[in-house]
Amino acid sequence: MYLKNAGYTVRTAATGGEALALVASDPPDLVVLDLMLPDIDGIEICRRVRQRSDLP
């Protein structure tokens, strides 16, 4: 909400799979993750994103 109010585009995902699909379709400048998602935890999402992209 804070980022959106500051004028940033914010995309949300309810599951780790949705998050990975969003990152693959339109790479973000910033990722904020919940560590306890229903299907894939945030740590594993970070690992997968780092393997597949140049995001820092």
Sequence spans of domains, the chain: 2-52
DSSP 1-56: -HHHHTT------SSHHHHHHHHHHS--S-----S--SSS-HHHHHHHHHHHS---
Q: What is the pTM assigned to this prediction?
A: 0.80
**2-52: CATH architecture:** 3-Layer(aba) Sandwich (3.40)
**How far apart, in whole angstroms, are the C-alpha atoms of residue 32 and residue 44?**
13
Residues 1-56: tens digit of each pLDDT: 899 999 999 999 999 999 999 999 998 888 899 988 889 999 999 999 988 877 76
